[in-house]
Amino acid sequence: EVQVVESGGDLVQPGGSLRLSCAASGFTVSSKNMGWVRQAPGKGLEWASVIYSGGSTDYADSVKGRFTISRDNSKNTVSLQMNSLRAEDTAVYYCARGGVVPGPNLAFDIWGQGTMVTVSS
Amino acid sequence: EIVLTQSPGTLSLSPGERATLSCRASQSSSYLAWYQQKPGQAPRLLIYGASSRATGIPDRFSGSGSGTDFTLTISRLEPEDFAVYYCQRYGGSPPITFGQGTRLENK
C-alpha cells in the first residue's frame, strides 16, 4: 500500500527545535517530489517546504532560514528540522507526495494523517 | 506574491443540487489543483492540471478554467460532499500556493 506516516510532533517552547519525520511505503521518496504542508488550528492549508526528486529544496518565506527539509534514501524517509520555533508555527504538519503528471509534479496525491506541533510556553 | 482567492467563502446547498466553486489567481497559472478536506482528515486530491480527475474521484467532480480563473463543479451533491475545498496553484515561484478555502455546507 502506498502511504506516508508522519511522526515527531510535540509541545515545544518558543525558540526551541523539533524534527518531524515522514516514513514512506509503497514508493521511493527519491523518485518523487515530497512536501510539507501545515494547517494551524481552524485555519486553511499553508505550504511550508518541498524537496524535489533531484534533491533541491524550496521553502515558504514564513519558514525560510528556520526550517530544513531533507531525505534519507536508505530509510525512505523525509524529515523537517524546525528551529527557532514561534507560536505561529503551531499547526498540524502533513507530509505529502507530489505524484501526478504531467506538469511540475507538485499536486499532492498521497497525504499522511498529520502530526501536531504546538509552540507554547 | 501570488494570491489565490476562493469564492464564495461558504456555500449552502442541498443534496442533489449543483455546486460551483471559484478560484481566482493574481497571476496567470498553468497548473491548478483542487482538494477536499473533511473535519479531522487530511486533504484529498480531486483535480489536477485544472481539469484532470485524480484516481478514484467520481465523475460528478469536474474542473475547468485557465489563466487566472478556475472552477470546481460538483454536478449533483451527495451527502459526503459537504466539506471544505481548497485550490492550489503549483509550478513557478513560489512553487505552491493554496487558496483560503470554500466551506460547502448542507442547507
Q: What is the pLDDT of residues A82-121, one digit of tens each?
A: 999 999 999 999 999 998 877 788 999 999 999 999 999 9
Count how many residues are written for chain A: 121
Q: What does the pLDDT read at residue B26?
A: 95
Which residue has cell 449533483? B76
For residues B12-32, b (16+ Cβ closer than 10 Å) or e, as one string?
ebeeeeebebbbbbeeebebb
- Count how many Cα atoms sit within 13 Å of the Cα of residue B19 in the half-sphere of its side chain: 31
Q: What does the pLDDT read at residue B92?
A: 86
Q: What does the pLDDT read at residue B91?
A: 87
Q: How confident is the model at residue B6 (pLDDT cuts 50, 70, 90)?
A: very high
Instruction: Tell which residue, A90, A72, A93, has the closest CA to residue A23.
Output: A72
Residues 15-34 (A) with a CB less than 8 A from some CB of B: none
With an 8 Å Cβ cutoff, are B100 and A44 in contact?
Answer: yes
Helix-, strand-, coil-residue percentages of chain A, each rounded to 5: 5, 50, 45
Q: What does the pLDDT read at residue A99?
A: 83
Residue of A6, A32, A34, A45 to mutate when probing chain B, most B C-beta within 10 A = A45
Measured between CB atoms, does A41 come within 8 Å of chain B? no
Q: How confident is the model at residue A63 (pLDDT cuts 50, 70, 90)?
A: very high
Q: How confident is the model at residue B30 (pLDDT cuts 50, 70, 90)?
A: confident
Pairing of strands A11-12, A115-119: parallel
DSSP label of A105:
S
pLDDT by residue (tens digit) across B67-95? Answer: 999 999 999 999 999 999 999 999 888 99
| Calpha distance A115→A19 (Å, rounded) | 11
Quick one: A25 exposed, middle or buried, by C-beta within 10 A (0-12, 13-18, 19+)?
Answer: exposed
Q: Which of A60, A108, A112 sits opposite B45 (nearest CB)?
A: A108
pLDDT by residue (tens digit) across A1-37? Answer: 999 999 999 999 999 999 999 999 999 999 999 999 9
For residues B64-82, b (16+ Cβ closer than 10 Å) or e, as one string?
ebeeeebbbebeebeeebb
Sort out which chain B residues have CB atoms less than 8 A from A60's CB and list them.
94
With an 8 Å Cβ cutoff, are A107 and B91 in contact?
Answer: no
| Residue of chain B minimizing CA distance to A48 | B96
Q: Which of A58, A102, A109 sits opposite B95 (nearest CB)?
A: A58
Q: What does the pLDDT read at residue A107?
A: 95
Min CA distance, B99 vs chain A (Å)?
Answer: 8
pLDDT at B27 over 90: yes
With an 8 Å Cβ cutoff, are B98 and A103 in contact?
Answer: no
